[in-house]
Amino acid sequence: MKSGHATRAFFAILSREMLRFLQQKGRFFSALVRPLIWLIVFAAGFRAALGLSIIPPYKTYITYDVYVVPGLIGMIQLFAGMQNSLSMVYDREMGSMRVLLSTPLPRSYLLLARMLSGTFVSIIQVYAFVIIAMLLGTRLPVAGLIMMFPVLILTGMTLSALGMFLSSWIKQLENFAGVMNFLIFPMFFMSSALYPLWRMREGSVTIYELCLLNPFTYVVELIRFTIYREPNLMALGIVVATFLVFGIAALVGYTPARGGPTAGRGG
C-alpha cells in the first residue's frame, strides 16, 4: 500500500463523511438537542432529587449538570457510532459500499478509515455540545476538555466498531434500526452516565453488576477522568479491549469470504 495513495483515500473518505454531515442539518441539530434536553431538563430535576457525594475524579461537591456531561458526551458518541453504522448499512443497500470496497486498498484500511471519519464527525458534535453547555453555565475545566480529544478518538472508534460489528451481521436496514434502539437505551441507562454506580447498587445489586459489565460505563468513566486529568487505567484497558474485540469482529464480518456485507444478487 503506497502511503500517498492511502492518505488521499483517507481524506477523501473523511471529506465525504463531513459533506454528508453538513448537508444533513437535521442530524446535527438532533445530535445537539438530545443531550441538551438531558442537560437542561433532567439535570434541573435530578439536581434536587439526587445527592452526589465526592467521588473520584471529583475533589469537591459538584452539581448534577457537571456530573452528567461526560455521560452525555458518551451518549453523543454512542448515537454517532450507531448513525455511522446505519449509514454503512444504507451504503451497502445503495451500492456505494461496493465502490469503496472494490478500490485497490486493503479492505481493513478502508473500513478503519470509514470508522475514523465517523469518529471525527462525532467529535465535532461533542465539542459543539460542550461549548453550548458551558455557555449555559455548566462549569468544566478547559484544559481537561482539550486533553479529552485523543480519548474521544479512542471512545468514538470503540463505539463505531461496535456499530460496524452489528452492521456487518445485520442484513437489512429495517432490522438495524430496530437493533439500534434495542441496544442504545439499555447501554445508556445501565451505565454511570446518569448516576454514579454506588447509587445504582443501593437500588439493585443485579443492575449494578450489569452496569459493571457494560463497556459504555468505562467509555463514560474514561471521558470523565480525562476531563479532570486523572488516570483511570482500568477504564482505558477495558475500552481498548472492547475496541479490539468489536473491531476485529467487524473486520471479520466484512470479509468477502462471508460473501455478505456487499452482497447483492443480480443477473
Least distance in Å: CB of 239 to another protein? 30
Buried b vs exposed e over 121-159: b needs ≥16 C-beta within 10 Å? bbbbbbbebbeebeeeebebeeebbeebeebbebbbbbb
Task: Please tell me whether residue 8 binds another protein under the rule CB under 8 A.
Answer: yes
Least distance in Å: CB of 9 to another protein? 5
Distance of alpha carbon 215 from alpha carbon 243, whole angstroms: 10
Task: Please tell me whether residue 259 binds another protein under the rule CB under 8 A.
Answer: yes
Least distance in Å: CB of 231 to another protein? 39
Peptide bond into 57 cis (omega under 30): yes
Closest to another protein by CB, 72 vs 97, is: 97
Task: Please tell me whether residue 86 binds another protein under the rule CB under 8 A.
Answer: no
Task: Please tell me whether residue 171 binds another protein under the rule CB under 8 A.
Answer: no
Closest to another protein by CB, 137 vs 266, is: 266
- Supply the DSSP symbol for 231: -
Least distance in Å: CB of 8 to another protein? 4
Cβ partners under 8 Å of residue 162, min gap 6: 81, 215, 242, 246
Q: Which of 45, 56, 106, 237 binds another protein (CB under 8 A)?
A: 106
Which value, to the nearest 10 degrees, does the dihedral of the CA atoms of residues 75, 77, 82, 85 take? 180
Distance of alpha carbon 101 from alpha carbon 89, whole angstroms: 14
The residue range among 39-47, 91-99, 182-190, 213-221 that interacts with another protein, by the rule CB under 8 A, is 91-99
Task: Please tell me whether residue 12 binds another protein under the rule CB under 8 A.
Answer: yes
Least distance in Å: CB of 133 to another protein? 30
Q: Interface residues for another protein in 18-37 (CB under 8 A)?
A: 19-20, 23
Whether the CB-CB separation of 79 and 31 falls below 8 Å is answered with yes
Task: Please tell me whether residue 205 binds another protein under the rule CB under 8 A.
Answer: no
Task: Please tell me whether residue 227 binds another protein under the rule CB under 8 A.
Answer: no
Cβ atoms within 10 Å, residue 230: 13
Least distance in Å: CB of 23 to another protein? 5
Q: What is the DSSP string of 47-68?
A: HHH------TT-SS---HHHHH
Which set of grid coordinates corresponds to residue 232? Answer: 483511570
- For the chain, give the number of residues: 267
Q: Which of 5, 29, 45, 185 binds another protein (CB under 8 A)?
A: 5
Task: Please tell me whether residue 16 binds another protein under the rule CB under 8 A.
Answer: yes
Applying CB under 8 A, the residues found at the interface with another protein are 1-2, 4-5, 8-9, 11-13, 15-16, 19-20, 23, 94-96, 98-106, 255-259, 262-267
